Amino acid sequence: MDTTAIASYLQTLRKEKGLTQAELGERLGVSAQSVSNWERAESLPDTALLPELAMIYGVSVDEILGGGSASWRFRRRITVAQMWEAMSCIQRLAQLLGHDHFFFRTMIDALNERMNSDIEPAFGNPVIWDAYVCEVLLACVRDGGDYIDIGDVEANIKSDKPREWTIRKLRELGLR
């Protein structure tokens, strides 16, 4: 662990957020002097503070401890099965409440807008279903900071084109 790199990174992050040492200290319940000590490599933040510090800066604890570089930069691991289940739940809402129900329409409209696509055709077509699952998985990795194992995609996305496209895109995002 390179304490000098950590110190420099902490100072850079604080400045990028436009916070003074006193403001950051107040948010974390520590003194400005403590923040100064971290940024001069005199000491490191208490481990109990690291998750909150990471949240304030919008980075992972691993990135902080890596001084700005981390081999693991994801929030959580997701699986193809989880995304299939989530989409099945949305489909089930239509069955329970009807396609014209306010709650179902709100969910669909929000997804369509956020994903810039139309989810409803996926409900009746396995290839479109796979393609949509892949789109959502990629969005979760790219925009949500999630991790998906490429082997999971290889094993569980049955349609060739969506599977191969997703694997290529995941590799472009740095997953192996």
Start-end ranges of CATH 1.10.260.40 in the chain? Answer: 3-65
Average pLDDT of the chain to the nearest whole number: 90
Q: How confident is the model at residue 145 (pLDDT cuts 50, 70, 90)?
A: confident
pLDDT digits (tens, 9 = 90+) for 108-122: 999 999 888 899 999
Residues ≥6 apart with Cβ < 8 Å to 82: none
Residue 62 neighbours by CB under 8 Å, 6+ apart: 70, 71, 72, 73
At 73, the pLDDT band (50, 70, 90 cuts) reads low
* Contact present, 14 and 6 (Cβ < 8 Å): no
* pTM of the predicted model as reported, rounded to 2 decimal places: 0.58
Strand pairing class (76-78; 146-148): parallel
Task: Return the CATH fold of 3-65.
Answer: 434 Repressor (Amino-terminal Domain) (1.10.260)
C-alpha 107: how far from chain center: 20
Asked if 175 and 146 touch (Cβ cutoff 8 Å), the reply is: no
CA distances from 137 to 20, 74, 146, 176 (A): 38, 13, 9, 15
Element (H, E) at 77: strand 76-78
Closest CA to 128 of 97, 91, 100: 91
Which of the two residues, 151 and 60, has the higher pLDDT score? 151
